[in-house]
């Protein structure tokens, strides 16, 4: 609207780009299902599972990146190489969307990236750069090389909002869909929402969309619980340090905003986990998550590896969704917390192996 676009012009753009993606993927973007599985809930309450594994690129990451592409088109920015730091679903989603829209893509990956992922990226025409850690540097070397590429003129095509703020816009579609589906499913009262967290964009975007979508539905009160593994839990560490002074919710938020680097620091060393997709050493989108948990009454959950594996096995067996361990990590948080209220989890990445 600010740029003078009509609704028709914008919808035509969405349809055109979605058609290009469908020609490559066999389908474009669709609302993904939400189904109840009370047998999965440790307390016997209803548990809704939103299955996003059938989305473009096999995960929710494509939602974020399609939103970035739309924002770029509306702004008239277009052209030039796209860049992303990822060795998983985000990179695959980026490669699908870049190939479908004929955009060059530069992907920065770690030395331990899985060859099967690399093969998919190469088949989609992405240019790959392996990023070993340089002497004396701290933080994720793939993200550091990504930032260098952006400073040299590449267009950030990332699922971390500090580098690509518009990545949260497309991600909000998950929350909007979820809100509509909970209302249609006659949910009421407290609904605990457990979301796996790596960089934080999935959780922050979904929570934003969900609370917007339920704004006029006071009979549903969502509560946010973020989930990380013992192998890498920078968000939970930041939360614990913020809570230590005993401030009010507003005071804790003010402190986090005033001194972000004091609380959100790279997690070192990163341990091992089957949920490889949430081993980000920094939770980039942490401030909206701290706010969401404080304001809704939730908290971060840190789960051990045994629970990560058990959640994956049980989740797949009951739902018959072909989902990877990262995609069921939110469910692991529910198992670890054992909270009795109705809950929602997101199954977000198709198993590729």
pLDDT of 258-271, one tens digit each?
999 999 999 999 99
Please determine whether the domains at 11-59+167-347 and 61-156 fall in the same fold group of CATH: yes
Sketch the domain layout of the chain as residue ranges: 11-59+167-347, 61-156
HSE of 333 in the Cβ direction (CA atoms, 13 Å)?
Answer: 30
Class of domain 61-156: alpha beta
Q: For residue range 286-322, list pLDDT tens digits in order.
A: 999 999 999 999 999 999 999 999 999 999 999 999 9
- For 6-41, what is each residue's pLDDT tens digit? 999 999 999 999 999 999 889 999 999 999 999 999
Q: Are 175 and 206 in contact (CB under 8 A)?
A: yes
Mean pLDDT of 59-88: 87
pLDDT tens profile 201-255? 999 999 999 999 999 899 999 999 999 999 999 999 999 999 998 989 999 999 9
Which of 217-220's residues contact partners 24+ apart within 8 Å by CB, and which partners?
217/179, 217/183, 219/188, 219/189, 220/182, 220/183, 220/187, 220/188, 220/189, 220/191
Domain 11-59+167-347 has CATH 3.40.50.1100: yes
CA pair distance 198, 307, nearest whole angstrom: 17
Token pair 């614990």 is found at 240
- Tens digit of pLDDT for each residue in 177-210? 999 999 999 999 999 999 999 999 999 999 999 9
SS3 108: strand
Asked if the model's pLDDT at residue 77 lies above 80, the reply is no
d(CA 234, CA 286): 9
Is pLDDT above 80 for 79?
no
pLDDT of 162 > 90? The answer is no
**Mean pLDDT in the chain?**
93
At residue 159 the predicted structure's pLDDT band, cuts being 50, 70 and 90, is confident
Structure tokens at 86: 């990822």
Q: Rounded to an integer, what distance in angstroms lies between the CA atom of residue 29 and that of residue 13?
A: 14
């Amino acid at each position: 609207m600010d740029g003078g676009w009509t609704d028709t012009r914008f919808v035509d753009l969405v349809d055109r780009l979605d058609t290009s993606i469908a020609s490559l993927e066999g389908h474009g973007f669709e609302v993904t299902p939400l189904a109840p599985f009370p047998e999965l809930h440790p307390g016997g309450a209803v548990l809704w599972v939103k299955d996003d594994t059938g989305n473009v690129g096999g995960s929710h990451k494509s939602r974020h990146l399609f939103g970035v592409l739309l924002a770029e088109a509306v702004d008239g920015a277009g052209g030039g190489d796209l860049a992303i730091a990822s060795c998983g679903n985000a990179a695959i989603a980026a490669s699908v969307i870049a190939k479908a829209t004929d955009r060059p893509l530069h992907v920065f990956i770690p030395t331990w990236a899985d060859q099967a992922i690399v093969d998919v990226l190469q088949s989609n025409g992405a240019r790959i750069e392996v990023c070993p850690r340089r002497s004396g540097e701290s933080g994720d070397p793939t993200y550091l090389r990504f930032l260098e590429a952006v400073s040299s003129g590449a267009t950030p095509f990332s699922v971390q909002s500090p580098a690509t703020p518009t990545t949260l816009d497309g991600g909000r579609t998950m929350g909007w869909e979820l809100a509509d589906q909970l209302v249609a499913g006659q949910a009421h009262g407290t609904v605990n929402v457990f979301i796996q967290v790596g960089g934080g964009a999935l959780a922050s975007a979904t929570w934003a969309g969900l609370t917007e979508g339920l704004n006029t539905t006071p009979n549903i009160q969502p509560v946010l619980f973020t989930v990380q593994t013992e192998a890498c839990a920078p968000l939970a560490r930041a939360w614990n340090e913020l809570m230590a002074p005993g401030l009010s919710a507003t005071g804790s938020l003010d402190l986090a905003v005033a001194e972000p680097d004091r609380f959100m620091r790279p997690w070192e060393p990163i341990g091992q986990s089957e949920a490889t997709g949430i081993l980000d050493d920094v939770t980039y989108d942490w401030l909206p998550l701290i706010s969401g948990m404080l304001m809704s009454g939730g908290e971060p959950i840190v789960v051990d590896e045994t629970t990560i594996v058990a959640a994956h096995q049980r989740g797949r067996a009951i739902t018959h969704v072909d989902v990877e361990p990262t995609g069921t990590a939110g469910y692991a948080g529910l198992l670890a917390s054992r909270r009795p209220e109705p809950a929602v989890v997101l199954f977000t990445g198709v198993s590729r192996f």
